Chains A and B, each alone.
Chain A
C-alpha cells in the first residue's frame, strides 16, 4: 500500500492505494469521480483520458502512486462552475455524443488537442489526433465537427482577451 496525494480539480486529496491500483480506479473508487470511464484493458479506447499536469493522459496507463504529487483535471473539473467549457458546449451543440460513455475521454482529449494547436485545427488533423479515442455511436462525424467548432470558438475567445489586454 502507498500514500497518494494529488490535486484533483483544484482540491488537494490524499488516500492510500494498493501499489497496483491504476490512477483511473483511484479516481473512480476512492474519490468517487465516476465521470472517467474504463472501456478497455489495453489503453486503446481513451474513455479514461484525464489531464495530468496539463497533459492528456490515459489514466489506465498510470499507477495512482505514479501520479502522486500531480495536478489532475477530470471531466468533473473542466467546466468553470455553471459555465460549460467551450469543448463541452460544442459537443452538446453539435450532437457529438450519443450514449455518453466515451464522451468524457473525448472531451478531455479534445481540449488537450486544441491547446496543442493554437494556430487552429483542420479535419484531417482532428481525425488523426483522435486515434487514441474510440466511439461506437457517432461515427465521429459530429465529434470532429464539435472539436473544430470549439477550436474556432476558443481562438476567437483568446483573440478577444488579447485585444482587451492590449
Chain B
C-alpha cells in the first residue's frame, strides 16, 4: 500500500484483527495462575451494613479469597475521588461524600460493591458470592434529584446536607433578569433530559496481577485513558507507586465516556491480587454494567428565553438540577457545569445569559460523562426552546435561527467560551437542501391522506471539543491538565512508530494517525505503526474523550513530526552538502529543492543511527517527543434535520429521513468521520425514541438488561444523509475540530422537534416511545 495522506478515504489498519477474531480485549487475556472474581453487590438502594459473614463462602469449592471493605481500608486503600473542584456561588467547595471501593458501613445504591470473591472459575466465584451473608438495615431511599432536595428526604452522605453537592452559577444574573423584564416575548419551558446507560458493547473488565518477585503490579483494564488510571490509582488510591504499576488498555470495545473513570473494580482486583497471591480477573455481566457503569444525562431544567420585538434573543435564564447519583464519579462535577452551561449560547448571539446549577446525591448509580457530556443537555434545552419560540412567535424555525446566528468570529459568549470559527448558515442551508425542506408541506399532506402524521424538526448545535487548554481548565477547578503527548520513532530502516497518549476504542487512530505520518514524509502507509494503550510503552497521556484525539492527540503527533522533520533535514543537508533551508521531503525522498540531489528517506534514518557522519554536535537517532497543550477549545457545529411519520393508531414513530450537516474543520479520513456521525446519531435517536434508565421509588433499577432497556437496533433507524462543510479550526496545526460526539449532541432535539411538530404539542418526554406518543395523541383528543 502506498502513501495514504490526510483526507484519504482509506480502509482501517485495525480491521484485519477485528474481522478475523483476532481482537484482544481484557476478557481475552489469560495470565498463568489467573483466578476469577465476582463482586457481591448491594441489593438495597440505601442501607447500613450491620454484619458481613464470609465463613460459608470461604469454605466453598475453588474459593481463593473473600475480601471485604474493612480489609481494604486496613491496607490503606483510598477512597474514590472526583477530579474537578466546583465551588458553590457562596464560595464553599463542593460537598464530596466518601466513596470506598468496597462499601464499609453503608451502601448507597443498588449495585454498590461490598465484597469480592475470588475462585478458580467464575462459576465457583458466583456460587460462593451467593453464600456471603450480609445483614443490612434498610434505609429509606430517594431516586429523583428534585425529591432528594426536599426537606426530610433521606440523607445520603453526612457531608452533603439535604443531598446538595453544590449550588453553582455562571453568567450575569442581573443583566439577564433585566432582559427578561423588558422583553417583547418570553418563551418558558421545563426541559427534562432523560437518564441513559452508555452501554458500550464490551462490558467493563479488569485483570489485576501483582508480581511478588518483582514487587510490581499490572492492570489490564477497559479504559479510555490508561495513564490517568495509573496516576489516580497511584496518587489517590494507594494501590501502588506509579513506577511499580503498569496499566494496559488493550482493544477496548467502545467507551462513550463510561470507560474514562477509574472504578472500584480495577482497584479492588489489583489489591485482591496482592492479597490472594494470584492474578484476579473480573468481567462485568451486562446487568452488572447497567447497575454500576456511570450513567449519563438526568437533568431537570427550567428555561426562560427573552426576545425583542425583532425576534432577537436578548437574554437566557436557566435553572438546572442535575442528578449525580450516589457518589461523585471522577468528572461528574464538570459535566453539568463547565461542559454544559458554557454551551448555553449555542450558535446564537445572546447578550445576557445566567445559569444556576444544583447537583444532587440520590440513591442511584453515579452519573458522569456520556457521549457529549453536558453539551447534549445544553443543545437539547436550547434547541427545544428555539423551536417552541419559533412556533409562539409565528416564524419558521430556520428564520428564527438565522436571525440570531453568530456571524463574525472570534465571538466571545457571556459564558466563558470564545468561538474561533464557524459558518452556521452554511450548515443550515446544506441540511435544508439535503432534506428537501421545501417539499415537506406536500409530503405531510400526502402522509395525512394515508392517515399518518408527519413532522419535521431541526437542531443547530455547537459543542466545545478538543479538551482542553490546561491552564484554562485548571483555573476552573480541573485536577489535571488536558494536553496530549506523542513520540515519533523513526527506525533505522525508515519505518515509523508513533506512540500516542490518545486511546482508540473504535475511533480508528491506527489508521488516521498513520495517514498524518504517511503524508508528512511520503512514506508507505503500511510502514507506519501506531502504539497506544500501555503505560510501559507510551510516556504519558490523557486519553480519549471530549472529541480530543484529533485536535489534541494528533496535534501532539504533528508537533513531534515537526521535530523529526527538522532533524532529518539537518542530517540530509549535511550529507548532501546543501543548505538546510533548501531541503524538502517528498514521496519518501529527502531532496535539495530544484536539483536532482536526493536521498531516500530510509538512508537519512540509517545515517542518524550509524552516526558515522552527522553534523558536528548532533546526537544520534531519529526519535522525538512532544507535548501539545491546546490554546483553545474547538467548536464543531452543524445542523441536523429529522423527518418523522407517526402512526396515530399505535403511536409508533418512524424516522423517514435524518440529515446531518456538520462542520468539523479539516478532515483526516472522511469514511471514519462519517462513521462517527452515524454512531452518534444512533445514540441520540436512541435517547429521543427508545432509551431511558428507570428506577422505582425504592431504588431498584427496572431497566437493567437488554430486555428492559431499549437499545437502538438496525430496524429502528434509517440510513443517514450526512455531509460536511469546512471552516478550518485556527487553534491547532491541523485545523481539525473533532467529530466524535456531534451526532449524539445534535440529534435528540431534532427528533423531538419533529415529533412535537407532527403531533401539534408543545413538548413530549424522552424517550418518545409508542406508548408516550399514543398517550399524547389521546390526551390532545380529550
Contact = CB atoms under 8 A, between A and B. Distances in A.
Interface stretch (A61-69, A74-82, A151-159): A74-82
B714 interface: yes
Candidate in B201, B202, B720 with the most chain A CB atoms within 10 angstroms: B201
A128 B606 CA distance: 56
A135 B686 CA distance: 12
Nearest to A20: B123
Interface in B399-450: none
A135 B679 CA distance: 9
Interface in A61-97: 74-76, 78-79, 84, 88, 91-93, 95, 97
A35 to B, nearest CB: 2
Nearest to A132: B713
B28 interface: yes
A95 B679 contact: no
Contact of A91 (B19, B27, B121, B199): B19
A127 B415 CA distance: 43
Contact of B254 (A41, A101, A128): A101
B682 A97 contact: no
B203 interface: yes
Given A36-B21, A38-B27, A138-B679, A99 B200 contact: yes
A145 B712 CA distance: 17
Interface string A120-158: 000110111011011111111111110000000000000
A139 B706 contact: no
A92 B506 contact: no
A107 interface: yes
A80 B286 CA distance: 34
Interface residues of A, number: 58
Given A99-B252, A102-B201, A142-B675, A74 B21 contact: yes
A10 to B, nearest CB: 15
A75 B21 contact: yes
A100 B23 contact: yes
Interface in B673-714: 674-675, 678-683, 705-707, 711-714
Contacts of A38: 27, 203, 283
Interface string B1-38: 00000000001101111111111110110100000000
B281 to A, nearest CB: 11
A39 B508 CA distance: 21
A62 B707 CA distance: 19
B129 to A, nearest CB: 15
Contacts of B27: 28, 34, 37-38
A78 B19 CA distance: 10
A8 B492 CA distance: 43
Nearest to A43: B706
B15 A35 contact: no
A75 B508 CA distance: 21
A33 interface: yes
A161 B741 CA distance: 46
A78 B23 CA distance: 15
A79 to B, nearest CB: 6
A98 B251 contact: no
Contacts of B713: 130-131, 134, 140
B287 interface: yes
A119 interface: no
Given A91-B15, A143-B714, A98 B508 contact: yes
Interface of A: 18, 20-21, 28, 32-42, 44-45, 47, 74-76, 78-79, 84, 88, 91-93, 95, 97-104, 107, 123-124, 126-128, 130-131, 133-145
Given A88-B20, A139-B743, 8 more contacts: A40-B705, A41-B285, A76-B21, A88-B19, A99-B251, A99-B506, A134-B706, A141-B720
13 contacts: A32-B30, A99-B253, A100-B17, A100-B253, A101-B254, A102-B201, A104-B19, A107-B19, A130-B715, A137-B201, A140-B678, A140-B717, A142-B674
Interface of B: 11-12, 14-25, 27-28, 30, 121, 123, 199-203, 251-254, 256, 283, 285-287, 505-508, 671-672, 674-675, 678-683, 705-707, 711-715, 717, 719-720, 743
Lowest 4 A-B CB distances belong to which pairs?
A: A35-B21, A101-B253, A100-B18, A139-B682
